[in-house]
Amino acid sequence: MNFRIFQCTVVLLLGLFLPSQFQPTATADTTVEINRLKPVRVFILAGQSNMEGAGVVSARANPRNMGKGTLEYLVKSDDTKERYKHTVDSKGDWIVRSDVFIWYLERKGGLSVGYGARTDRIGPEFQFGHFLGEAFDEPVLLIKVAWGGKSLAKDFRPPSSGGEVGVFYKQMLNHVESVLKNIPADFPELANRKYILSGFGWHQGWNDGCDKEQTSEYESNLVNFIKDVRKDLNAPDLPFVIANSGFAGWDQKVDRRLEIMKAQAAAANNVEFRGTVKCVETRDFYRAEDVSPSRQRYHWNGNAETYFLIGDAMGQSMFQLVNQAD
């Protein structure tokens, strides 16, 4: 499978998707303007439930611990509001970005809250997109392909690992291809621009850490996954950022969980990936149950700060890799 999507040109005109009375009139001047438009930087975000995102947005809808750990609490608290002020407008409403766009499970539009596992949740995409939107002059498009309860050993199994290719590996690539083909229709603001496949973010590992055999092969599967994704997307040096499986923080003692994190770091340090892959340490971002909306450690206790910080760290690492590649 080779989609040849790296640095492809989106050539469909918005007018093809609109009634004739709304079709713009092309002139020499508008053609020049179109040619000068900056390309869209496309980033893929993939994984399982923690990439979907369980960060709780509303403090009022989640009164546990007086709303601590919700995004609403964070933007209002004196201790944290400065850090989160870029996410709301002067009225306190959530900002919808006009330079960062996202597609996830048929939800699409300008980046804002509501692109987590549910519409009242956020995941790493939230601050990842905010950070890259500020860092790049070009518009950004995030394609998020994540499903809860999926393993790398089976569901996302890459072709080079042998055996049956994972259903969700194939589905992930099909989704990416479909979104890229339909940019003019789904995101009219981005029509007539080139797009550049600029990076891939990965946050996954719970399911593989439930089985000793899957844990033992995680490093090789992740190395193969990176190689195969690059091959299938025709992007040989596509920057990859891995957010490790640090739920439970530095108190994690389960051997299989620790081995998954070692495997994630080892895959990123593979000599073939030098300068193109980074592994983000997330254990510092764990927040305890008494300052969080839930008690689900495997979902980071639903803490919006945690998902925000994971996205921020992934965004910073991605920006560094993209700058090196450029």
**73-124 pLDDT tens trace:** 999 999 999 999 999 999 999 999 999 999 998 899 999 999 999 999 999 9
Q: Which domain holds residue 168?
A: 37-325
Q: Are 47 and 203 in contact (CB under 8 A)?
A: yes
**Is residue 4 one of the residues assigned to a domain?**
no
186 Cβ contact partners less than 8 Å away, ≥ 6 residues apart: 103, 108, 179
In a domain, 21, yes or no: no
Structure pTM?
0.89
As for how many domains the chain has, the answer is: 1
Contacts of 14 (CB under 8 A, 6+ apart): 24, 184, 188, 191, 192
Q: Is 91 a domain residue? A: yes
Name the residue with tokens 């930087």.
Answer: 41
Q: Is residue 193 part of a domain?
A: yes
Q: Are 48 and 204 in contact (CB under 8 A)?
A: yes
For residue 144, tell me if it sits in a domain.
yes
Which helix (H) or strand (E) is 179 found in, with range? Answer: helix 167-181
Predicted confidence (pLDDT) per residue in 23-72, tens digit: 333 334 444 444 568 999 999 999 999 999 999 999 987 778 899 999 99
pLDDT one-digit tens code per residue, 211-220: 999 999 999 9
Please return the burial class of 207, using the count of CB atoms within 10 Å of its CB with bins 0-12, 13-18 and 19+.
buried
Neighbours of 90 (CB within 10 A): 5
Tokens for 249, please give them.
Answer: 């923080």
Domain membership of residue 7 (yes or no) is: no
Strand pairing partners for 108? 103
Tell which residue, 256, 229, 254, has the closest CA to residue 240: 229
Q: Mean of the pLDDT values across residues 130-152?
A: 98
The pLDDT of residue 61 is: 75
Residue 19 has pLDDT above 80, yes or no: no
* SS3 call for 240: strand
Average pLDDT, the chain: 90
Percent residues over pLDDT 90 in the chain: 85
Identify each DSSP E strand in 261-300 by its residue range. Answer: 277-280
2 assigned to some structural domain: no
Stretch 261-276: mean pLDDT: 98
Please report whether residue 44 resides in a domain.
yes
User: Which amino acid does the sequence have at 284?
Assistant: D
CATH number where 311 lies: 3.40.50.1110
* Residue 2: pLDDT over 60: no
